[in-house]
Amino acid sequence: MNLFVLVWSYLTAKPLNTVLNILLLSMGIGVITTLMLFNNQFQEKMSDNSRGIDLVVGAKGSPLQLVLCNVFHIDFPTGNIKLSEAEKLSRHRLVKKAIPMALGDSYQNFRIVGTDTAYTNLFKATLQEGTWWSKDLEVVAGSAAAEALTLKVGDTFASAHGLTNDGHAHEENLYRMVGILEPSHTVADNLLFTNVASIWKVHDVQDVPDSAKEITSLLIKFRNPIAALQLPRMINTYTNMQAASPAFETARLFSILGVGVDVLVGIASTIIIVSGLSIFIALYNSLKERRYDMAIMRSMGVGKTKLFASIVLEGTALTFCGSVLGILIGHALIFGFTTLVEEGARTGISALVFYGGEVILLAASLLLGVFCSLIPAWQAYRTDIHKVLSGN
Amino acid sequence: MRVVTNCKTLEVIEVKDLSYTYPEGKKIDFGDFGIDRGDHCLLLGESGCGKTTLLHLLGGLLHSTEGLIRVTGIEVSRLSETELDNFRRQHIGFIFQKNHLITALNVQQNLLLAEKNISRADELLKSLNLSDLKTKKIQTLSHGQAQRVAIARALMNKPEVILADEPTSALDDKNCEAVIELLMTVAKENQSTLVIATHDSRLKSKFHRQIHLG
């Protein structure tokens, strides 16, 4: 008889046991897959989004918040800095490039960023339609934002004050769409871009003297490595502004998150070990019930290696199903997170990305199956036909 | 019709100076005997006198240390474990007192365990009036049906020798009669030699060839 038919029959003869063992393993594997997908993509996105930005300079407050708000567009602004101070800093000899950022307004939860095209150039963004903004109140939309808001070139809209939908609407000054960007799979896809002056215009500060004008932050690219040593200290000590390094802050964020990730990995590993134990016990117990089955098969001329193989196959079939199901669960969780949770969609994380680590998970699961079934399989191999059949 | 492999004699089973020593030290002598091809024979004796042991020795389930066993011309006592597997698969059909069928499999799959010969299985199920039960679960069978399935399973390889261990001891007179008739019929149809180990005295009148142990 075909080994697969035999193993399949034994597995389906005890459906509850089989389902329990598969589910248990799939839970462990599912958690690890989810973490792997999330962590890897999150780090990739983080580094994609902060590429070309050495330093963020903004109002004093939490440096992590400053980075999250101005680089990743997640958190709220820390406050404003004076335009004059920012411009002074831009001209510093250690600064190669300084990009102004004016944040704080949004349209239907999509953030409006007052900046210049140097910012979109960081993402190597190109237009799929229309032109770049050149006059005040002209807006270029990221691809995902344009799609979600069903905005076309030529449409107009009123921005809302604040980063949530319920802010006061700036109805006196309507923005006009002039272009849509190609998808860049970065945070730029979810932003609406305009110039800094538009933000001032909307807030009626256009006509105040330059000395009173403010922006949210400056994104700085260093001229040379010495700047990394001198600029942050200079800014933090001698100005009213604070400087935060995206690389340092994200590393700090990951070390904080890392504890949680480690705990989850620990829990998942425990579940996997328990599931391995459960499979071992299931095989070991079923073997007692199947001693006679095996002796009968042997009496019919089935070789002992075939019995050994059937037990190992049974163990690995369980772990194979468990790990495949677990990997599917992992992707399904990420899919749910990115489609059902709005913040999830904004992260740009995809459920359809596969990592080499998943192949390793699969291989390790198969190995676990072999390992758990070795002792029962060895017992099956050594079945004393005469003893079992003569009832001793 | 199978070719007689042992030309010197018609004996399908030949036993010489056979003895078996149990792991705990007890030794049983079985002496010399032979069983002719197509003959039906009883191995009689009280419980514990070594009937099952002898049956297992003849069928290659147990390795003897002393003496000679030749079945269908093959020296069973000289075979390695793998050769014994092949020997049983090709030449022997076992019927046990408990008609142990594998409950995870259906009736047909139980027959196909060692040999994937579906037409043979169908043929046997038909001749034993089991065709309707082909895909039935083992748990749904009656005792009589299960016994017939076990007999069909033993016949899958058209065995030259059928070895039955206490096939009737748990049966009432009527069923005992039926099973023995069935066994003798199928053995005849398949040109098999039937060897029944039993302490059931009801069978004595049915067999002229009897070997007493102990």
Q: Which residue range(s) make up the domain with B27?
A: 11-212
* Shortest Cα–Cα distance, B121 to chain A (Å): 13
* Domain containing residue B71: CATH number: 3.40.50.300
**Is A80 within 8 Å of A203 (Cβ atoms)?**
no
Could you tell me which chain B residue has the CA closest to the CA of A383?
B61
The C-alpha angle with vertex A209 and arms to A65 and A163, in degrees rounded to 5, equals 30
H or E stretch at B164: strand B161-165
pLDDT score at A298: 92
Q: Is residue B129 part of a domain?
A: yes
Q: In angstroms, how far is CA A170 from the centroid of its own chain?
A: 34
Most A CBs within 10 A among B102, B151, B156, hence the mutation to make, goes to B102
CA–CA separation, B42 vs B207, rounded Å? Answer: 7
The ipTM of this complex is 0.89
Chain B contact set for A1 (CB, 8 A): 109, 112-114, 116
Contact assignment for A389 to B85 by CB distance below 8 Å: no
Residue type, A155: D
Q: Report pLDDT digits (tens) over A301-358.
A: 999 999 999 999 999 999 999 999 999 999 999 999 888 887 777 777 888 888 999 9
Query: Mean pLDDT across the stretch A207-217?
Result: 84
Q: Exposed e or buried b for every residue in B112-122, given b needs 16+ CB within 10 A?
A: bbbbeeeebbe
Q: What is the DSSP string of A16-51?
A: HHHHHHHHHHHHHHHHHHHHHHHHHHHHHHHHHHTT
**Farthest-apart Cα atoms in chain A, separation:** 105
- pLDDT surpassing 50 at residue A235: yes
Chain A stretch 280-319, residues whose beta carbon is closer than 8 A to a beta carbon of chain B: 292-293, 296-304
Burial of A52 (0-12, 13-18, 19+ CB in 10 A): middle
pLDDT score at B2: 41
- pLDDT surpassing 70 at residue A97: yes
Q: In this prediction, what percent of chain A has a pLDDT beyond 70?
A: 99
- In this structure, is the dihedral angle defined by the CA atoms of residues B200, B206, B207 and B210, taken in order, positive or negative? positive
CA–CA separation, A310 vs A305, rounded Å? Answer: 8
CA–CA separation, B103 vs B147, rounded Å? Answer: 14
Single out the residue of A378, A372, A385, A373 nearest to residue A291, CA to CA. A385
Q: Report pLDDT digits (tens) over B106-157.
A: 999 999 988 889 999 999 999 898 999 999 999 999 988 999 999 999 999 9
Q: Is residue B161 part of a domain?
A: yes
Contact assignment for A389 to B81 by CB distance below 8 Å: no
Q: Exposed e or buried b for every residue in A205-240, given b needs 16+ CB within 10 A?
A: eeeeeeeebbbbbbbbbbeeeebeeebbeebeeebe
Residues of B in CB contact (< 8 Å) with A are 52-53, 56, 59, 61-62, 81-82, 85-90, 92, 94, 96, 98, 100, 102-105, 109, 112-114, 116, 153, 156-157, 165
pLDDT score at A353: 86
Contact assignment for A299 to B59 by CB distance below 8 Å: yes
Which of A292, A300, A389 is closest, CB to CB, to B113? A300
Contact assignment for B100 to A301 by CB distance below 8 Å: no
Burial of A284 (0-12, 13-18, 19+ CB in 10 A): middle
pLDDT score at B7: 45
Q: Is residue B20 part of a domain?
A: yes
Mean pLDDT of chain A: 90
Single out the residue of A317, A329, A330 nearest to residue A365, CA to CA. A317
Burial of A274 (0-12, 13-18, 19+ CB in 10 A): middle
CB atoms inside a 10 Å sphere around CB B108: 19
pLDDT score at A215: 93
Q: What is the DSSP string of B55-80?
A: HHHHTTSS--SEEEEEETTEEGGG--
**Between A193 and B64, the higher pLDDT residue:** A193
- pLDDT surpassing 90 at residue A23: yes
- pLDDT surpassing 50 at residue A177: yes
A139 contact partners, CB below 8 Å, separation of at least 6: A112, A133, A175, A176, A177, A178, A192, A193, A194, A198
Q: Is residue B75 part of a domain?
A: yes
- pLDDT surpassing 90 at residue A176: yes
A363 contact partners, CB below 8 Å, separation of at least 6: none
Phi and psi at B152, nearest 5°, equal -60, -40
Q: With a threshold of 0.90, does the pTM exceed it? A: no
User: What are the structure tokens assigned to B168, written together?
Assistant: 């009737």
B4 pLDDT band, cuts 50/70/90, is: very low
- pLDDT surpassing 90 at residue A91: yes
Q: In this prediction, what percent of chain A has a pLDDT beyond 90?
A: 64
**Is A134 within 8 Å of A92 (Cβ atoms)?**
no
Q: Report pLDDT digits (tens) over A373-384.
A: 999 999 999 988
pLDDT score at B66: 86
Chain A stretch 5-64, residues whose beta carbon is closer than 8 A to a beta carbon of chain B: 5-6, 9-10, 12-13
* Shortest Cα–Cα distance, B99 to chain A (Å): 10
- pLDDT surpassing 60 at residue A392: no
- pLDDT surpassing 70 at residue B16: yes
Chain B contact set for A296 (CB, 8 A): 94, 96, 100, 102, 113
Q: Does A390 touch chain B (CB under 8 A)?
A: yes
Single out the residue of B154, B184, B194, B196 nearest to residue B37, CA to CA. B194
Single out the residue of B58, B101, B71, B114 nearest to residue A303, CA to CA. B114
Count A/B contacts: CB-CB distance under 8 Å. 75
Q: What is the DSSP letter of B132?
A: G
Going edge to edge, which strands form the sheet with B92-95? B92-95, B161-165, B193-198, B40-44, B209-212
Side-chain-side CA neighbours of B186 within 13 Å: the count stands at 31
The C-alpha angle with vertex B60 and arms to B54 and B63, in degrees rounded to 5, equals 75
pLDDT score at B86: 93
Q: Is residue B6 part of a domain?
A: no
CA–CA separation, A86 vs A11, rounded Å? Answer: 70
B6 pLDDT band, cuts 50/70/90, is: very low
Q: Is residue B2 part of a domain?
A: no
**Between A53 and A46, the higher pLDDT residue:** A53
Q: Is residue B95 part of a domain?
A: yes
- pLDDT surpassing 90 at residue A22: yes
The torsion defined by the Cα of A260, A265, A266 and A267, in degrees rounded to 10, comes to 90
- pLDDT surpassing 80 at residue B90: yes
- pLDDT surpassing 60 at residue A287: yes
Chain A contact set for B113 (CB, 8 A): 1, 296-297, 300, 302
CA–CA separation, B58 vs A144, rounded Å? Answer: 80
B3 pLDDT band, cuts 50/70/90, is: very low
Q: Report pLDDT digits (tens) over A146-159.
A: 988 998 999 999 98
Side-chain-side CA neighbours of B37 within 13 Å: the count stands at 21
Chain B contact set for A389 (CB, 8 A): 52, 56, 61, 96, 165
**Is A118 within 8 Å of A99 (Cβ atoms)?**
yes
- Looking at the 3D structure of chain B, how many domains does it have? 1
H or E stretch at A192: strand A191-194
Distances (CA, A) of A109 to A148, A206, A348, A366: 11, 25, 16, 46
Q: In this prediction, what percent of chain B has a pLDDT beyond 70?
A: 96
- pLDDT surpassing 90 at residue B196: yes
pLDDT score at A348: 73
Mean pLDDT of chain B: 88
Q: Is residue B1 part of a domain?
A: no
CA–CA separation, B119 vs A262, rounded Å? Answer: 59
- pLDDT surpassing 60 at residue A7: yes
- pLDDT surpassing 50 at residue A389: yes
Chain A contact set for B85 (CB, 8 A): 298, 301-304
CA–CA separation, B55 vs B65, rounded Å? Answer: 15
Chain A contact set for B86 (CB, 8 A): 301
